[in-house]
């Protein structure tokens, strides 16, 4: 092993002197992130299907950009990114910023946000957003069929087919509008709404009365075969058990002081009453299911119009 001499300590100094020459180029290559870089990063995250990260960079670009048109585009992209990421508080924050910074477009942003909420089946929030838009008569003329379809969807969600039909009646379906099939969808929805919810509902009182006479018959009347078989079998077996218990107790002179037959009778009576109540609930469930299916099919028939963002969102309302 070589022992350092007096001449050798000069090497670390020369190495230290040369170190900056190797580090300096790396530091020189570093460039500050520009406002344009934020927009490009946001677009890359959107292409990578990372909408919330896209929202974050679009929002940063919105805060730093100087051009009004650029800020508007970034703010709208941030709103969409947060919404489609399911981050609704962030989407509402972006909406409030846009409405504050671009007051002449406040109603437009509120309308667009209501459409996005309808696309996501968030009907209650969509109704609030549409109410906050404070649409004027001129706005209603501008929106035309768009507003009629939105109001019909909100009414259908509330199981109000009369209001939904009133909203769709003025729509001219002879002329094509919106995405392909929109006019046909509105015409078909009107026909179904004119017929109204399905008739032939099951009477809960009649179902309960039938099951009081023959256990399970009320459930069968309501179309619930499994419930009918279960109610008939359990009630019959327990009733016969109570009857047999009383016969045994009476034939033997009450060896258990009629305790067992009393318990058996209480159990059988409880199942008998639950059979009657079950028949009543079964009829109500049958009616509710048919009505819910009617409104669900009506809503699904109109959602084809919402699939075209360009048509529903491509409007500018009054300041």
Instruction: Report if residue 157 sits inside a domain.
Output: no
Q: Identify the pLDDT of residue 79.
A: 78
Contact present, 94 and 79 (Cβ < 8 Å): yes
Q: At what angle do helices 259-306 and 225-251 cross, to 10 degrees?
A: 170
Query: Could you tell me the pTM of the whole model?
Result: 0.67
Q: Identify the pLDDT of residue 2.
A: 43
Instruction: Report if residue 171 sits inside a domain.
Output: no
Our count of domains for the chain comes to 1
Instruction: Report if residue 293 sits inside a domain.
Output: yes
Q: Identify the pLDDT of residue 22.
A: 46
Q: Identify the pLDDT of residue 38.
A: 64
Q: Can you tell me the mean pLDDT for 236-248?
A: 88
Residue 225 has pLDDT above 70, yes or no: yes
Count Cβ atoms within 10 A of the Cβ of residue 243 and give its class: 0-12 exposed, 13-18 middle, 19 or more buried.
middle
- CA nearest neighbour of 133 among 167, 177, 168, 99: 99
Q: Identify the pLDDT of residue 167.
A: 93
Q: Which long-range contacts (CB under 8 A, 24 or more apart) does 116-123 make?
A: 116/80, 116/83, 116/91, 118/150, 118/153, 118/154, 118/306, 119/303, 119/306, 119/309, 120/83, 123/153, 123/154, 123/157
Nearby residues of 26 by Cβ (< 8 Å), 6 or more positions away: none
Whole-number mean pLDDT of the chain?
80
Q: Identify the pLDDT of residue 47.
A: 63
Instruction: Report if residue 224 sits inside a domain.
Output: yes
Give 182-219 pLDDT, tens digit per residue. Answer: 889 999 999 999 988 887 778 889 999 999 999 999 88
Instruction: Report if residue 6 sits inside a domain.
Output: no
Instruction: Report if residue 223 sits inside a domain.
Output: yes
The span from the CA of 310 to the CA of 300, in Å, is 20
Range of the domain at 281: 204-300
Q: Identify the pLDDT of residue 14.
A: 44
Contact present, 138 and 170 (Cβ < 8 Å): no
Instruction: Report if residue 216 sits inside a domain.
Output: yes
Residue 41's CB is within 10 A of a number of other CB atoms, namely 18
Residue 64 has pLDDT above 90, yes or no: no
Q: Can you tell me the mean pLDDT for 113-131?
A: 88
Contact present, 231 and 278 (Cβ < 8 Å): yes
Instruction: Report if residue 150 sits inside a domain.
Output: no
């Amino acid at each position: 092993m070589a022992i350092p001499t007096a001449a050798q300590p000069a090497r670390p100094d020369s190495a230290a002197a040369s170190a900056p020459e190797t580090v300096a180029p790396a530091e020189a290559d570093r460039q500050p992130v520009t406002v344009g870089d934020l927009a490009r990063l946001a677009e890359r995250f959107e292409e990578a299907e990372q909408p919330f990260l896209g929202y974050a960079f679009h929002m940063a670009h919105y805060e730093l950009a100087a051009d009004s048109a650029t800020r508007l585009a970034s703010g709208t992209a941030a709103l969409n990114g947060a919404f489609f990421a399911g981050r609704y508080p962030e989407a509402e924050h972006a909406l409030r910023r846009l409405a504050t910074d671009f007051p002449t477009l406040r109603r437009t942003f509120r309308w667009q946000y209501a459409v996005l909420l309808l696309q996501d089946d968030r009907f209650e929030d969509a109704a609030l957003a549409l109410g906050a838009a404070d649409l004027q008569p001129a706005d209603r003329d501008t929106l035309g069929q768009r507003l009629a379809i939105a109001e019909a969807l909100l009414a259908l969600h509330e199981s109000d087919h009369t209001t939904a039909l009133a909203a769709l009646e003025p729509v001219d379906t002879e002329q094509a509008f919106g995405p392909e099939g929109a006019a046909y969808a509105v015409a078909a929805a009107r026909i179904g709404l004119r017929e109204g919810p399905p008739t032939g509902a099951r009477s809960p009182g009649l179902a309960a009365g039938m099951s009081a006479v023959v256990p399970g018959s009320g459930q069968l009347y309501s179309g619930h075969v499994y419930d009918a078989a279960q109610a008939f079998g359990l009630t019959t077996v327990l009733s016969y058990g109570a009857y047999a218990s009383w016969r045994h107790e009476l034939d033997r002179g009450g060896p258990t002081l009629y305790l067992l037959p009393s318990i058996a009778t209480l159990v059988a009576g409880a199942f008998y009453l639950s059979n009657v109540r079950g028949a009543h609930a079964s009829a109500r469930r049958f009616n509710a299911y048919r009505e819910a299916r009617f409104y669900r099919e009506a809503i699904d028939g109109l959602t084809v119009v919402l699939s075209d963002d360009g048509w529903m969102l491509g409007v500018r309302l009054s300041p």
